[in-house]
C-alpha cells in the first residue's frame, strides 16, 4: 500500500520519544535536522546517477554519517509517496513537481524507532 504525505517542517523538542506511527515520524524527520541525525544509520547506503558517460548509470556507495550533510535537502513544495517495502522497511519517494528531481529514502525499523539506511538520488 502506498500513501501520500505532505512535506511539512515541524519544530520539535530535541530528545522526545519516537513518534508512534510512520507518518508522524516522517513529519518530524522532514523538519528537524537533529532528529534526522539521530535517526540515520552510522553508515548510509547511497546511490546517484552518473551522467558523464554516453548513457547515465546508477553508482552505488556507502557514506559514513559524519560525511552526510544535515539537514537533508527536501524541497518544498514536494510530492511525498510512502511505500512499505518489507516487514520492517519503508521507502519514501520525494519528487519536486514539474522537474526531474527525485530522491528515495529507505527507512528500517530498528526498535524503538525508524532509521534512515539508504539515500538514492535519481536526478538525471
Q: How far apart are CA 119 and CA 92, in angstroms?
A: 10
Question: Where residue 122 falls among pLDDT bands split at 50, 70, 90?
Answer: confident
Domains of the chain: 3-8+19-121 (3.10.450)
Higher pLDDT, residue 101 or 89 = 89
Read off the pLDDT of residues 25-84 as tens digits, 9 standing for 90 and up. Answer: 999 999 899 999 999 999 999 998 888 888 888 899 999 988 888 888 777 788 999 999
Question: Where residue 1 falls among pLDDT bands split at 50, 70, 90?
Answer: very low
Q: Please give the full DSSP string across 17-29, using - where no structure is assigned.
A: PPPSSHHHHHHHH
Amino acid at each position: 500500500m502506498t500513501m501520500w504525505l505532505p512535506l511539512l517542517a515541524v519544530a520539535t523538542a530535541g530528545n522526545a520519544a519516537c513518534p508512534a506511527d510512520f507518518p508522524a515520524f516522517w513529519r518530524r524527520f522532514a523538519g528537524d535536522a537533529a532528529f534526522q541525525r539521530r535517526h540515520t544509520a552510522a553508515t548510509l547506503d547511497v546511490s546517484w546517477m552518473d551522467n558523464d558517460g554516453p548513457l547515465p548509470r546508477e553508482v552505488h556507495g556507502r557514506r559514513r554519517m559524519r560525511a552526510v550533510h544535515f539537514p537533508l535537502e527536501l524541497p518544498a513544495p514536494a510530492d511525498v509517496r510512502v511505500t512499505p517495502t518489507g516487514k520492517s522497511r519503508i521507502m519514501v519517494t520525494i519528487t519536486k513537481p514539474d522537474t526531474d528531481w527525485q530522491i528515495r529514502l529507505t527507512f528500517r525499523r530498528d526498535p524503538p524507532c525508524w532509521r534512515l539506511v539508504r539515500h538514492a538520488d535519481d536526478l538525471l
